[in-house]
Amino acid sequence: MTDAATNMRLKLPAACLILQIILIILFGALVEYDDHTDAKKWHEHMKNTSTTDADNEFYYRYPSFQDVHVMIFIGFGFLMTFLQRYGFSSIGFNFLIAALALQWATLMQGFFHGMHHGKIHIGVESMINADFCTGAVLISFGAVLGKTSPVQLLVMAVFEVILFAVNEFILLTTLGAKDAGGSMTIHTFGAYFGLMVARVLYRPNLDKSKHRNCSVYHSDLFAMIGTIYLWMFWPSFNSAVAAHGDDQHRTAMNTYYSLASCTLATYGLSALTAHDGKLDMVHIQNAALAGGVAAGTAGEMMLTPYGSMIVGFLAGIISVLGYKYLTPLLEEKLKIQDTCGVHNLHGMPGVLGAIVGAVTAALATKEIYGDGMADVFPDVASGDVEAAFQGVRQAISLAVTLGMALLGGLLVGFILKLPIYGAPPDTICYEDSIYWEVPGEESAHEELTTVRTEESEKLNS
């Protein structure tokens, strides 16, 4: 796996520029503004439907989109800066692969979500969905953080986006499952895909870089920026593509309570399990978010506030226990080196969320949902299926997702194992300076002393 040729002079420009040019050509051939973004079509639409500019989808979705956007670029990016010398790569590669993935996802999702006379129609909802797909890629990135080259990550993104779109199509269109916040499509898929890639890319000699696989004081503070933004905006994430009205509203609120409850569970479990009763930043940074993941499927359903709190509570507990007991086992027994512990933050809570979604769906009744049933479970409302069967669909969707993620990760892992991408050697993992011009650190301190002396002399004179 080690590869001396980590120089990116030609590989990275070739990958970036060729991929971008291909994207431009495909967008030119296939992509059009939708009815809400096209000048002509929107004005015709308003005339035909007697609506006004206020009804443009932009006003229903754009604030949620921006919150999701912050989660993708600030949330995921800074969450991964916890490593002491990998901040540039964490934010920088997150930025790069997200910029690729959101364009590529627009095409892939557009293709599967249904073409209009051979064209993909895009607007704010497709932008949110593209960001969602990007989120799955970034979750997988978390599993291999510090051990991959940027070219390898771009290649991973290209393949993962395709598989994500296929899985999402199977779940939402073929199986008729509901997954507004993506417990299955985003979190479970992204986590198990990434874990399988990490498995294939297993490095037996990674302990040579072990001393860098930890945080320093300031890197943990930077990571908390990511954590808090993810935590705050998760209600927007889960509700961003839910149906208008009560659905968006309820999803946001359920997620809010799930996260609050999860946070208390996380602090409790962290102090209980960590050394000397002290809190562990790894738990706080990650496990406190598990409540958002676990409310991803059932958040739009009538989960009730206390139901949401129970889900968040359980998610926080299993997530901390995962970090404490499961992650070391995964590495030792299954040879999965999961840098960020995505199994604990996205994997297990995603599966929990899928199960909660299946159960909640199976229990849906007309008494509870009233006319709102048509928004949440259209097939149940129309009488096509029973609520219990909707639950079965949800359960099957989880199984499909796990299968797609594991098989896809296996396949893509082997593609990424080819010794052509300039991956870092085992001795220089978790280290920015291999791919970045890194400035010094000490100079500032020496400098400071000199300046102060100079300056006070100056001012005193």
User: Which residues from 17-46 bind its own copies, rule CB under 8 A?
Assistant: 17, 19-21, 23-25, 27-28, 31-33, 36-44, 46
Residues 6+ apart with CB under 8 A from 254: 238, 295, 298, 299, 300, 303, 305, 307, 308
**Are 265 and 312 spatial neighbours (Cβ–Cβ below 8 Å)?**
yes
Window 38 to 97, contacts with its own copies (CB under 8 A): 38-44, 46-47, 52-60, 62-63, 66-67, 69-70, 73-74, 77, 81, 84-85, 87-88, 91-92, 95-96
Q: Does 12 bind its own copies (CB under 8 A)?
A: yes
The only residue of 3, 246, 331, 379 in contact with its own copies, by rule CB under 8 A: 246
- Whole-number Å distance between alpha carbons of 51 and 56: 9
- Whole-number Å distance between alpha carbons of 369 and 301: 9
**Are 193 and 408 spatial neighbours (Cβ–Cβ below 8 Å)?**
yes
Sequence-distant contacts of 107-115: CB under 8 A, at least 24 apart: 107/23, 107/26, 107/27, 107/30, 107/31, 108/133, 108/161, 108/162, 108/164, 108/165, 109/133, 109/165, 109/168, 110/30, 110/31, 111/165, 112/165, 112/166, 112/168, 112/169, 112/173, 113/169, 113/173, 115/30
Residue 3: count other Cβ atoms within 10 Å of its Cβ: 15
x/- map, 287-306, its own copies, by CB under 8 A: -x-------------x-xxx
Which residue, 15 or 326, has its beta carbon nearer to its own copies? Answer: 15
The only residue of 111, 267, 420, 426 in contact with its own copies, by rule CB under 8 A: 267
Q: Does 381 bind its own copies (CB under 8 A)?
A: no
| Smallest separation, CB 259 to its own copies (Å) | 8
Window 316 to 345, contacts with its own copies (CB under 8 A): none
Which residue, 226 or 296, has its beta carbon nearer to its own copies? Answer: 226
| Smallest separation, CB 88 to its own copies (Å) | 6
Closest CA to 369 of 391, 393, 387: 387
- Whole-number Å distance between alpha carbons of 240 and 180: 8
| Smallest separation, CB 40 to its own copies (Å) | 3
**Are 193 and 334 spatial neighbours (Cβ–Cβ below 8 Å)?**
no
With CB under 8 A as the contact rule, which of the stretches 1-9, 322-330, 387-395, 406-414 interacts with its own copies?
A: 1-9
The only residue of 272, 329, 388, 418 in contact with its own copies, by rule CB under 8 A: 272
Q: Does 113 bind its own copies (CB under 8 A)?
A: no
The only residue of 160, 179, 220, 338 in contact with its own copies, by rule CB under 8 A: 220
- Whole-number Å distance between alpha carbons of 448 and 458: 15
Residue 17: count other Cβ atoms within 10 Å of its Cβ: 10
| Smallest separation, CB 200 to its own copies (Å) | 25
Q: Which helix (DSSP H) or strand (DSSP E) does residue 121 occupy?
A: strand 120-122
Give the β-pairing of 31-33 and 120-122: parallel
Both tokens of 8, joined, read 């990116």
Window 150 to 169, contacts with its own copies (CB under 8 A): 150
x/- map, 118-157, its own copies, by CB under 8 A: ----xxx--x----------------------x-------
| Smallest separation, CB 344 to its own copies (Å) | 17
The only residue of 115, 173, 174, 218 in contact with its own copies, by rule CB under 8 A: 218
| Smallest separation, CB 271 to its own copies (Å) | 4
Which residue, 166 or 381, has its beta carbon nearer to its own copies? Answer: 381
Q: Does 9 bind its own copies (CB under 8 A)?
A: yes
Q: At what angle do helices 305-321 and 246-273 cross, to 10 degrees?
A: 40
Which residue, 204 or 444, has its beta carbon nearer to its own copies? Answer: 444
**Are 348 and 319 spatial neighbours (Cβ–Cβ below 8 Å)?**
yes
**Are 157 and 412 spatial neighbours (Cβ–Cβ below 8 Å)?**
no
x/- map, 431-450, its own copies, by CB under 8 A: x-xxxxxxxxxxxxx-xx--
x/- map, 168-187, its own copies, by CB under 8 A: --------------------
Quick one: how far is CA 289 from the chain centroid?
A: 12
| Smallest separation, CB 187 to its own copies (Å) | 21
Quick one: how far is CA 449 from the chain centroid?
A: 44
Q: Does 195 bind its own copies (CB under 8 A)?
A: no
Which residue, 156 or 196, has its beta carbon nearer to its own copies? Answer: 156
- Whole-number Å distance between alpha carbons of 145 and 80: 8
Which residue, 21 or 399, has its beta carbon nearer to its own copies? Answer: 21
**Are 186 and 160 spatial neighbours (Cβ–Cβ below 8 Å)?**
no
The count of chain residues that interact with its own copies, using the rule CB under 8 A, is: 164
Which residue, 91 or 196, has its beta carbon nearer to its own copies? Answer: 91
With CB under 8 A as the contact rule, which of the stretches 140-148, 176-184, 223-231, 354-362 interacts with its own copies?
A: 223-231
Alpha helices in 322-372 (DSSP H): 327-334, 342, 348-362, 366-369
| Smallest separation, CB 308 to its own copies (Å) | 9
